Amino acid sequence: MTTEIVSLVTPGADACGRLPVEHGEFVRQILDRVGDKWSLLVIANLHDGPRRYTDLQQAVTGISQRMLTLTLRQLGEDGLIARTAYAEVPPRVEYALTPLGESFLQVATSLVQWASTHHGEIREHRALALARGGHGETS
C-alpha cells in the first residue's frame, strides 16, 4: 500500500501528496469557505432547486440574517450559487446551485448526512472527554 501512495506523490507536492505546492494556499482557502457550517447547510438546502432568501433562512436553523447574506455572497463569488432577481412587484430573488455547485452537492450532502448520522456518537465521545477532565477535546 505504501508503494501505491508513494507512486501518486508528484515532485513539488505538499503533505496531501497529490496537490502541487503552488496550489496549496488557494485550495485551503476553498476548503475553508465550502467547509464552514453555513456554506454546507446552504448548499445542501438548495438540492431541490432554487429557493428564496426567507425559505433558506427558515431551512438553515440558527443562521442569522447577516451570516446568511454573507454566506450567499461568498458562495456566489466562488461560482457555487447564482442569484436571480425578478423584476416583479414585490421584487423576488432566488438562489440556486450553478453547475459548479451541483458538482459539489454530493460532497456537501454526504458531509451533512454523516454529521446527522453520527452526532449521538460524537456527543458521547465529547462527554467522556469532558468527564476525564478535558474540555470536550481528545488528547
pLDDT in tens, 74-107: 999 999 999 999 999 988 999 999 999 999 988 8
For residue 102, give the C-alpha cell. 451541483
Other C-beta atoms closer than 10 Å to the C-beta of 95 total 22
Cα distance between residue 133 and residue 118, in whole Å: 23
pLDDT on residue 103: 92
Contact 56, 45 (CB under 8 A): yes
Beta carbons of 67 and 38 less than 8 angstroms apart: yes
What residue has cell string 447547510?
Answer: 41
Cis omega (within 30 of 0) on the bond before 20?
Answer: no
Q: What is the pLDDT of residues 42-65, one digit of tens each?
A: 998 999 999 999 999 999 999 999
Split at pLDDT 50, 70, 90, the class of 6 is very low
pLDDT, the chain, mean: 83
**Residue pointed to by grid coordinates 440556486:** 96
The answer, yes or no, to whether residue 8 has pLDDT greater than 70, is no
What pLDDT score was predicted for residue 10?
A: 44
The model's pTM = 0.69
C-alpha cell at 87: 423584476
Higher model confidence: residue 134 or residue 70?
A: 70
Q: What is the mean pLDDT of residues 2-26?
A: 54
In the predicted model, is pLDDT for residue 13 greater than 50? no
